[in-house]
Structure 1
């Protein structure tokens, strides 16, 4: 149970302590005093999405009957804290920082909160499925189905988006381009060498003539130098040897260069350079660009080939997944139908207790595979003793829908603490008395905290809290017997109305 709610700061609620009791706790007050804010801040421990402020801070003290070994929570009293500053939200258990999910998982298994207008969810088919799935307790099967359906849906999307013929054409074009460039065996270094060789080859005749003349001159020079031996003393012969040797080396180098020049075929160089030019023109403009594009094409080709492989296997995988999905969906559907049969009689009994004579049932229809299976389910009913059943949106009023929602909730109660925000909307007269009796009986097994405008409910409370707003300040007070009498008179309409009733 919740023993204490402490609000340090939330909108205009500041430094407030509310000590709840077991059984039925009611919160009353004029419209606009901020009663629902109290429930919002409790809801922050389950899902702070409905909190209306960027700054809030609160604690709840929970007395837990059973230990939670998964999170190391022992039986007894524990303090849960939540604080939001700007965009960051901090959670604590007994003063120790913990992840949000831990607090919300623990608290959601203890507290169920029913907000205003929650009865409108009865008109949502997805909400009905959620109710039946919770009763069926087949969460693992639901998770397995949704994972398979996600894979199935991805395949459907891929098959609808990708044009297989176009993909094959793109792959063939990439292969041709890659083959053409690969077979050319291009390199920036070779291109530079070819350009240099072509420049030399263009001047080859001049080079040949110059090298031949130089060779002749070197031969003549060597001959002249050798004659000098007879004119010079022996001490100069060593220096002369070096000069003759250098001339001979230069002459030898020129001879080798002449052999190379004779071997150069300018036509071969031109043909090779033309290959570079053709490839650059198609895929360039530079050889560096061509080689970079080649790398990109190869990666793209690999990705497209993978996609093609997936598509070629997609029909088989799609068919296999469909078989699995239908099998699991049929099992889920059967569980849902069993769940509906399990609670429909309880709902009928609760409705009778709430002064609503109506026939209610769950209507199942089979659909194509969807994220929720193959079921479309809605509540149908009739206020007549015989005849067809119709969708609720066509036959019930707002008050009847509220009672029906309460009957459904009472049939599926799963947490020890139940919090209601004005579930009495659209309810009055004898029905209000019936509702108060129902809540009183429920409070024998659950702690109930309810914001209400009905004096019939307030009369049966274990504890009665009144909230009064004066400008930006709020007072929340636990009422004694005399104060409670005065508050209930106010709820009836004041002393004058009470006297008239007497």
Structure 2
């Protein structure tokens, strides 16, 4: 249940605490005080927001009766926070940042908000299907069906847009390109080494002359150093040995370089570089691009081979998928029809309690297989005891639709917390009393929060809250018995109206001889 909502700042509500209890919580107030602002705040934690202010932040204390291991939340009391900055909403749980979807997934299983004019959804066929699938628990079957349907559409697309001969031709062309590149064994490292070798090879003659001259000079230096041994004392031999060894090592390295240069084949390097140049020109412009295209074409080859395989067995695959889809669609449809029968009984019972005698049913029409199955469903009804049923969009008034939606919601109430935003619009008299009884009955199993203008509902409240506004400041007050009596009198129309009702009742009693 929701224990507390703290509004730090929202429109003219600043630093406001709203404490809720179990049972029926009623929020009332003068027209124009903005009672629905409180529902905006609750809605901001769910997947439909109607934030009317650039700056906004609020906290909601919830007592959870289950664990949510995916984000490390255990049952018990937790603080959910929301803040709007730079036109974006940020969420926290117990001071820890949590993703929007995670918060909404948790709270949508706990809280349901029924907004004003939600009865218009009764005219939406997608909404009707969603209701039936929820009651029928069709979601697992629907996931399987939708996956098959995507595969089925893919096969149809291939059949419609692909030709085996053209696919084979495309495959042959790609394989030629791939074979040409793969047989070249390209690598960016080798290309760089070849270019360096080529630069050296272009200066081959100069290098040969230089290294030959160096080698000759080193030989002369070494001979000269060796002659010095006979001219100096033994104590200087160590220095001379070092000099001779250095010259000998340098001479050895120069000899190796000469061997490499002599072994270098300029024509071979040019031919290999030409392979790179040719492939860059055809599939480049760089070697990196050529290698990237190779990987892309290898993937394309896999897809084309898959397409050809499907085309070879296209009709068989289409029929197989169609058969499986049809079987699943029929299962889903039958479960929807069973759910519809159960809902109709419950709706009609609630409608009768709400002072509305009506026959209601779900009209099923079979359509071509679509992503949501084979059912085209519409809610039909009649306020007459006999005769045909007609689509609600053609016969129901706003007040009747409102009561129908309420009956549906009462039939489907499933989450722990149910929030209603002036669902009593267009309802009065005896029906208002019946509605109050219904909400009171519902609050025995759920926490119910209602924004209302009906005193009949306020009279049933376990907790009565009043939203009051003075200038640019709004407050939410929990009413004691005396204040509650005054508020309910105001809702009935004030003292004068109540006196008129008393006079009317007195006259009626006299007329009836009581």
Q: Same fold (TM over 0.5)?
A: yes
- Any residues of structure 2 matched to 1:365-380 within 5 Å, and which? 365-380=365-380
Give the conservation status (yes or no) of the 8 Å contact 1:174–1:297.
no
1:289 has 2:289 as partner: no
* Structure 1 match to 2:30: 30
Query: What SS is found at the alignment partner of 1:34?
Result: coil
Query: What SS is found at the alignment partner of 1:49?
Result: coil
* Structure 2 match to 1:226: none
* Structure 1 match to 2:60: 60
Q: Compare 85-94 and 427-436 and name the one that shifted more.
A: 85-94
Give the conservation status (yes or no) of the 8 Å contact 2:178–2:297.
no
* Structure 1 match to 2:78: 78
Q: Deviations over 1:410-432 (max 9, x none)?
A: 11111121100010112122211
How far residue 111 of structure 1 moved from its aligned partner, in angstroms, is 1.4
* Structure 2 match to 1:271: none
- Long gaps (5+) in structure 2: 185-190, 199-276, 503-514
Give the conservation status (yes or no) of the 8 Å contact 2:283–2:293.
no
How far residue 115 of structure 1 moved from its aligned partner, in angstroms, is 1.0
Q: Deviations over 1:151-210 (max 9, x none)?
A: 3233334444556665555556667889999999xxx99xxx9xxxxxxxxxxxxxxxxx
For residues 351 and 397 of structure 2, the distance between their equivalents in structure 1, rounded to whole angstroms, comes to 14
How far residue 144 of structure 1 moved from its aligned partner, in angstroms, is 1.7
How far residue 438 of structure 1 moved from its aligned partner, in angstroms, is 1.1
- Any residues of structure 2 matched to 1:157-168 within 5 Å, and which? 157-162=157-162, 167-168=167-168
For residues 402 and 103 of structure 1, the distance between their equivalents in structure 2, rounded to whole angstroms, comes to 30
Q: Deviations over 1:426-485 (max 9, x none)?
A: 212221111111112212222211111112211221222221233322122122233223
Flag the 1:297–1:176 CA change in 2: closer, same or farther, 3 A. same
How far residue 400 of structure 1 moved from its aligned partner, in angstroms, is 0.7
Flag the 1:464–1:20 CA change in 2: closer, same or farther, 3 A. same
Give the conservation status (yes or no) of the 8 Å contact 1:27–1:450.
yes
For residues 320 and 420 of structure 2, the distance between their equivalents in structure 1, rounded to whole angstroms, comes to 47
Q: Compare 331-340 and 40-49 and name the one that shifted more.
A: 40-49
* Structure 2 match to 1:351: 351
For residues 470 and 399 of structure 1, the distance between their equivalents in structure 2, rounded to whole angstroms, comes to 33
For residues 129 and 385 of structure 2, the distance between their equivalents in structure 1, rounded to whole angstroms, comes to 27
* Structure 2 match to 1:455: 455
* Structure 2 match to 1:15: 15
Q: Deviations over 1:351-387 (max 9, x none)?
A: 0000110111112222221111111222111111111
How far residue 123 of structure 1 moved from its aligned partner, in angstroms, is 0.9
For residues 180 and 51 of structure 2, the distance between their equivalents in structure 1, rounded to whole angstroms, comes to 65
* Structure 2 match to 1:494: 494
For residues 459 and 62 of structure 1, the distance between their equivalents in structure 2, rounded to whole angstroms, comes to 26
For residues 347 and 163 of structure 2, the distance between their equivalents in structure 1, rounded to whole angstroms, comes to 53
Flag the 1:429–1:312 CA change in 2: closer, same or farther, 3 A. same
For residues 69 and 392 of structure 2, the distance between their equivalents in structure 1, rounded to whole angstroms, comes to 42
Among 301, 304, 311, the residue aligned to 2:307:
311
For residues 300 and 48 of structure 1, the distance between their equivalents in structure 2, rounded to whole angstroms, comes to 42
* Structure 1 match to 2:383: 383
Query: What SS is found at the alignment partner of 2:489?
Result: helix
Give the conservation status (yes or no) of the 8 Å contact 2:91–2:99.
yes
Normalised by the length of structure 1, the TM-score is 0.73
For residues 415 and 126 of structure 1, the distance between their equivalents in structure 2, rounded to whole angstroms, comes to 21
How far residue 335 of structure 1 moved from its aligned partner, in angstroms, is 1.5
1:425 has 2:421 as partner: no
* Structure 2 match to 1:398: 398
* Structure 2 match to 1:440: 440
Flag the 1:165–1:422 CA change in 2: closer, same or farther, 3 A. farther
Query: What SS is found at the alignment partner of 2:146?
Result: helix
For residues 416 and 297 of structure 1, the distance between their equivalents in structure 2, rounded to whole angstroms, comes to 57
Is the radius of gyration larger for structure 1 or structure 2? 1
1:103 has 2:103 as partner: yes
How far residue 124 of structure 1 moved from its aligned partner, in angstroms, is 1.0
Flag the 1:295–1:388 CA change in 2: closer, same or farther, 3 A. same
For residues 130 and 183 of structure 2, the distance between their equivalents in structure 1, rounded to whole angstroms, comes to 63
Across the aligned residues of Structure 1 and Structure 2, the Cα RMSD in angstroms comes to 3.6
Flag the 1:496–1:161 CA change in 2: closer, same or farther, 3 A. farther
Give the conservation status (yes or no) of the 8 Å contact 1:44–1:50.
yes
For residues 180 and 362 of structure 1, the distance between their equivalents in structure 2, rounded to whole angstroms, comes to 64
For residues 68 and 282 of structure 2, the distance between their equivalents in structure 1, rounded to whole angstroms, comes to 64
For residues 295 and 480 of structure 1, the distance between their equivalents in structure 2, rounded to whole angstroms, comes to 79
- Long gaps (5+) in structure 1: 194-284
Give the conservation status (yes or no) of the 8 Å contact 2:178–2:298.
no
Flag the 1:27–1:69 CA change in 2: closer, same or farther, 3 A. closer
For residues 121 and 447 of structure 1, the distance between their equivalents in structure 2, rounded to whole angstroms, comes to 24
Q: Deviations over 1:233-252 (max 9, x none)?
A: xxxxxxxxxxxxxxxxxxxx
